[in-house]
């Protein structure tokens, strides 16, 4: 059976520019009912119908889980990306009817934690907007350290400081302010859980440092949706459905499979959840693995691929789809 999510018919109720790079989108249900309750850290997949092309991108819900009249997401414009964020910024206006998925949480709070220590980089702030709202509502103990390029690009830094005062610490790259990670991680009370969301480099830095300081892996949580990278077009044979497809430069392998009328299950479309894992029947060429799901051994073996984010260069690729 498919493990995909149920869909929600929504209408864009507001579009709010936040700064030079980030715009916030508000969604309400078209039937006027309340949206499903969600937990802090959850994302939805937004369907973007752009001409004859459909993009499906995940975005963290950033509103309060206590308020289900509307969902809000914040989208950072990526001028070099595959066009999803540009579509959102240029084409999505109030009143537009869209389809989004039910919320899915792959970055859940561990409610056993005595303290939640959160580290955000750039647009990685969004899941923490919801998580801090959830924790503040029940008197939870949290502390947020937020790194941004400049004060004017510190998305929601002002809101967060206003809400939570000195529980929020800001670090600006242009002022060469940097988290003293060693000291921060060494001075936490027992029972602290660490959460990090931001660029891949930041996540790796924090995870490595936490590991070397002896933090148990189950206390370190991270979310990094890899955006599918553009690349040279390549051809793929889908053995089960008997189709041969071409993956375009700006298309992900998963999108190309879907465009051919084959629907693998998915949840995150960012190389995290494992749903679209696909067996490779044969290949002659090089895999470009970009996921966080398969083990290094799987990557080396060439027997599996995550079509949501990974690509291929070479003569032939046959998949069990």
Are 145 and 181 in contact, with CB atoms under 8 Å apart?
Answer: no
In Å, how far from its chain's centre is CA 67?
21
199 or 274: CB nearest other proteins: 274
CB 38 to other proteins: min, Å: 6
Q: Cα torsion for 117, 120, 126, 132, to the nearest 10°?
A: 20
CB 120 to other proteins: min, Å: 20
Largest interatomic CA distance in the chain: 59
CB 134 to other proteins: min, Å: 8
Buried b (16+ CB within 10 A) or exposed e, 16-43: eeeeebbbbbbbbbeeeeebeebbbbbb
Q: How far apart are CA 100 and CA 82, in angstroms?
A: 19
88 or 203: CB nearest other proteins: 203
219 or 229: CB nearest other proteins: 219
CB 20 to other proteins: min, Å: 34
Q: How far apart are CA 301 and CA 299, in angstroms?
A: 6
CB 131 to other proteins: min, Å: 11
122 or 307: CB nearest other proteins: 307
- State the residues that interact with other proteins by CB under 8 A: 1, 3-6, 36-39, 41-42, 65, 102-105, 108-112, 134, 138, 218, 267, 273-275
Between helix 157-164 and helix 126-137 the angle, nearest 10°, is 10
135 or 202: CB nearest other proteins: 135
Tokens of 294: 């398969």
């Amino acid at each position: 059976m498919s493990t995909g999510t149920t869909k929600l018919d929504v209408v864009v109720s507001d579009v709010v520019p936040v700064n030079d790079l980030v715009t916030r989108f508000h969604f309400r249900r078209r039937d006027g009912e309340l949206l499903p309750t969600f937990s802090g850290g959850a994302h939805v997949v937004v369907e973007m119908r752009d001409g004859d092309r459909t993009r499906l991108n995940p975005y963290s819900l950033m509103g309060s889980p206590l308020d289900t009249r509307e969902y809000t997401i914040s989208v950072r414009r990526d001028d070099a990306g595959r066009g999803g964020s540009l579509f959102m910024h240029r084409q999505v206006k109030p009143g537009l009817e869209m389809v989004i998925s039910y919320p899915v949480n792959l970055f859940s709070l561990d409610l056993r934690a005595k303290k939640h220590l959160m580290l955000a980089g750039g647009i990685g702030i969004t899941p923490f907007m919801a998580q801090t709202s959830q924790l503040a509502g029940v008197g939870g103990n949290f502390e947020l350290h937020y790194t941004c390029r400049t004060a004017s690009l510190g998305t929601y830094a002002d809101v967060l400081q206003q809400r939570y005062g000195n529980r929020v610490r800001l670090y600006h790259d242009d002022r060469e302010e940097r988290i003293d990670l060693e000291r921060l991680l060494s001075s936490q009370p027992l029972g602290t859980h660490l959460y990090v969301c931001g660029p891949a480099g930041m996540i790796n830095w924090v995870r490595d440092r936490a590991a070397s300081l002896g933090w148990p892996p189950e206390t370190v949580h991270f979310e990094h949706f890899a955006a599918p990278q553009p690349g040279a077009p390549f051809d793929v044979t889908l053995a089960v459905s008997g189709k041969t497809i071409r993956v375009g430069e700006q298309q992900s392998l998963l999108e190309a499979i879907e465009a051919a009328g084959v629907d693998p299950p998915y949840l995150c479309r960012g190389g995290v959840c494992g749903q679209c894992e696909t067996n490779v029947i044969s290949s002659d060429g090089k895999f470009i693995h970009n996921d966080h799901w398969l083990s290094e051994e799987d990557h080396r073996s060439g027997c599996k691929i995550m079509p949501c984010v990974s690509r291929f260069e070479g003569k032939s690729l046959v998949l069990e789809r």
